[in-house]
Amino acid sequence: MARFIPYNYDQTSMVIINYRDQLQPGTFEHAIHFLIHSKLDLSVFNPTYHNDDNGRLAYDPAILLSIILFGYSKGITSSRELQWCCETNIIFKALSCDVVPHFTTIAAFVSGHANEIEALFEQILLICHEQGLLGNELFAIDGCKMPSDAAKEWSGTFKELEAKRDKIKRLITHHVTTHQRLDESDTAEDQRKTRAEQAIETLTTAHDKIDQFLKSEEPREGKGKKAKGKKAKEVKSNITDNESAKMKTNKGTIQGYNGVASVDKKHQVIIDAQTFGEGQEHHTLKPVLEAVTDRFNRLGISENIYQDGIIVTADTGFANEANMKYLHESNINAYIPDNQFRRRDPKFKEQHETYGKRHQKPKKDRQKEIIPASDFDFDPIAMTCDCPSGNHLSLRRVSEVDSGSPTAYFEGKLLQCRHCPIKHQCMHNPASADHRKGKGRQVSFALNDQRKPTHTDWMKHRVDSAKGKQIYGHRMSVVEPVFGNIGTNLKLSRFSLRTKEKVQGQWRLFCIVHNLGKLARYGSMSV
């Protein structure tokens, strides 16, 4: 008969653990412990505490940072889960010296120390520089759009929110009437009355929330170009977090923030991390470049990093005429292509012919090709335009596109297009005319083909050159692995906070963890 080693679940044992022995050199937890206790100046957190003379003792920022940074490195952002790890996980116990902060303390530390986290980010960046991890040869800039703790259902322009409030008010009136009728009925069930009361309470809360927002806030203006004598175009506000924005991503539309990172080529160290509550990346380039200049100057790395010949690269999302003009006038050695640069490259000609949109198999619900703008009768002298049916289109505006060329925009009236016999060949969405919504056909015409050279043309020449193609080829290999590490290894898929300041603090925490990983691998973690 087989024999086994006996065991007993009722026995008691004592395990002696030395916490320092759990933090073995070469591990990430050892790097965190070494930097926090030997290299970083955490006195920046002291002014936020006010218990010098009275009040209970506070948790040391060194302990809280150790817990949070190691948790973020494992993809753990929940303060409740971090508290549970401090109770059960030996590495967390070693980093915290068996201290177990309450989850509310951890959450308050993350959300309430955005400025101190920025100072911490700069200290770690300076250590990276001192240990030779910065090459200061090429910077790559890119953004990563992620949802935040705000529902996109609570977004809309002020007109849309007013309509939503009025609709809720009508629903409240309906439920109140229903509830009164049920009260008067002797046969009505209590359960139906309860449901009506709950519906009234829920709808009243939503109505008051929208009403308070409309009374206390102003319409949110976009960052686009303003027409002369007109206000900037209104963008959608959000009642939950009005600093976040609706953004289109390859996974659909989200309500969140765009985390922009600037990455040094040598060891992919993040040198700047900011968040923006707008989907468009055009306006983020200048503040990012200026932030890098100020930081490097403040840390003593370089007085003007761009005058030292460093190369800046970014993808097509950052390209427009205003940015190209800024780069040219600031003498910044940048390579930022427009969205047509692949089409101009002979190497991609065969690829485009094989995989381009024209050669894709049409989807069932794809609209038929519409009548091109060239078939419209456009008079650039009189600034008039007639459609193929002979209807007169209204001039909406004349403005410059990103290339710098002035363009005239015309639009047909909905009443004209609704009854037009060729609307199915002319309108992008003929159904919109039948259902009394949308607009008529819209067309645009370039006013001057013999325009002067623009700053966009200057950048096109740079990126189309052999040197420009070789330099820009490094962009993806520099910045994309950083987002891959943060999104896949660190498991950051959404921001768990609200308001730009708090979200930016959380984004920098993840960027700090990324840079700590570079220090652990390539730096010196010994006294």
Contact at 8 Å (CB) between 95 and 50? no
Pairwise CA distance, residues 32 & 38, whole Å: 10
Q: Give me the amino acid identity at 173.
A: T
What is the chain's pLDDT, residue by residue, as a tens digit (527 residues)?
899 999 899 988 888 889 889 999 889 999 999 999 988 999 999 998 888 888 888 999 999 999 999 999 999 999 999 999 999 999 999 999 999 999 999 999 999 999 999 999 999 999 999 999 998 999 999 999 999 998 888 888 888 888 999 999 899 888 888 878 777 776 666 777 678 788 888 989 989 998 888 888 888 887 766 555 566 778 888 899 898 988 888 888 899 999 999 999 999 999 999 999 888 888 899 999 999 999 999 999 988 888 888 999 999 989 988 899 999 999 899 999 988 888 777 777 666 556 555 545 555 444 457 888 878 888 777 788 888 888 888 888 887 766 567 888 898 888 888 888 888 888 777 776 666 566 788 888 877 655 677 888 888 888 888 888 899 888 889 999 999 999 999 999 899 999 999 999 999 999 999 999 999 998 887 54
409 DSSP β-pair partners: 397, 444
CA quadruple 165, 166, 169, 170: dihedral, nearest 10: -140
φ, ψ (nearest 5 deg) of residue 53: -105, -30
**DSSP strands (E only) in 403-491:** 406-411, 442-446
Pairwise CA distance, residues 372 & 375, whole Å: 6
Which tokens go with 505? 């603090």
Quick count: other Cβ atoms within 10 Å of Cβ 337? 24
Alpha carbon separation from 501 to 243, 244, 257, 273, 507 (Å, rounded): 9, 11, 11, 12, 10
Pairwise CA distance, residues 112 & 498, whole Å: 12
- DSSP helix/strand/coil, 247: strand
Helices and strands per DSSP (H, E), number in the chain? 20, 15
For tokens 């101190």, the residue is: 116
Ramachandran quadrant class, 335 (left: phi over 0; alpha: psi -120 to 50; beta: rest): beta
Pairwise CA distance, residues 501 & 223, whole Å: 19
Q: DSSP assignment of 27-88, as one string? A: SHHHHHHHIIIII--GGGGGGG---SSSSPPPPPHHHHHHHHHHHHHTT---HHHHHHHHHH
CA-nearest of 408, 407, 414, 413 to 395 is 408
Quick count: other Cβ atoms within 10 Å of Cβ 314? 27
CA-nearest of 465, 84, 129 to 305 is 129
**Whole-model pTM?**
0.80
CA-nearest of 323, 259, 250 to 285 is 323
- DSSP helix/strand/coil, 127: helix
Q: Which residues of 167-186 are buried (b: 16+ CB within 10 A; e: fewer)?
A: ebeebbeebbebbeebeeee
- DSSP helix/strand/coil, 138: strand
